[in-house]
Amino acid sequence: MLKVEIVKVDVAAKETRKMTDYVAEEKPLHISVKKTHYATIFCSPSNLKELAVGHLLSEGIIESVEEIEEISFRKKSFCRVKLKPNIDLEKRLKLLKPFSRIILSACGSPSPYQISARLPKLKSDLTVKAEIILSCVNRLNSIAETFKKTGGVHAAAIYKSDGNLVAFAEDVGRHNAVDKVIGIGALNKTVFSEYFLALTGRLTGDIVRKTARVGLPIVASLAVAIDSGIAVAKDVDLTLIGFARGKRINIYNFPERILS
């Protein structure tokens, strides 16, 4: 967060005054894999290691954190990911064009790789009570300190079936917030099939692909699902929940995992 000087105008009271306020930061994170520039992600400058790991996992560039030999940073915004020698990165990236990408916080990265790669059906015995889903989603903005001060970020979290928090992150980009909690979970050896994701952003196809790729079986949001997100959820048997607010939730697919 940054402090800035603003002029606040109260139209009703017809008053004008100078004051300081907080705004969310957006900085570039340059990620190289095997010494080749992979992507520049515009993001909030926090949990950058977790963002890099989560992004590579959710995009299918790596299959697990065990494939990473080393992660190093230079000047805080340059992240170098060294993979183990037996990883054939070129083979995994052959459908990804262009290889070097700029990923803006506003829209994320619906890459050709995501669209081309068919994901397997999700296998999970996880069930969660509807009231816990609702509580966890509604809790996001209350624990999101940056959001409370700026109103300019998205939040995402991974929860246990009993509602206990496992990972939490905020970012100016909803995709980045999801990648960050995936990275936090992966680095802590989380078995994603036993947990669910809650977030504040729209449930688009690329968001649902990210979560399905790492094996999260339930995704719930304060916001709406759109047709591309529903289509991906149906394709992989993911439980997709939107409009989790007040006293209700909308389940768009695979309601069997949600207990009343």
Active site amino acids:
107
Which residue, 193, 160, 198, is CA-closest to 177? 198
- CA–CA separation, 175 and 88 (whole Å): 26
Instruction: Look up residue 6 and give its two tokens.
Output: 């603003």
Helical (H) or strand (E) element with 182: helix 174-187
Helical (H) or strand (E) element with 17: strand 15-23
Q: Residue 249 in contact with residue 196, Cβ under 8 Å? A: no
Counting other chains too, the contacts that 93-99 makes at CB distance below 8 Å and 24 or more residues apart are 93/61, 99/36, 99/38
Residue with tokens 């060294």: 82
- CA–CA separation, 205 and 92 (whole Å): 21
The length of the chain is 260
Provide the 10 A C-beta neighbour count for residue 74: 10
Alpha-helix residue ranges (DSSP H) falling in 35-129: 48-58, 89-92, 112-116
Instruction: Look up residue 207 and give its two tokens.
Output: 């968001």
CA distances from 257 to 162, 219, 225, 240 (A): 14, 11, 18, 10
- CA–CA separation, 59 and 79 (whole Å): 17
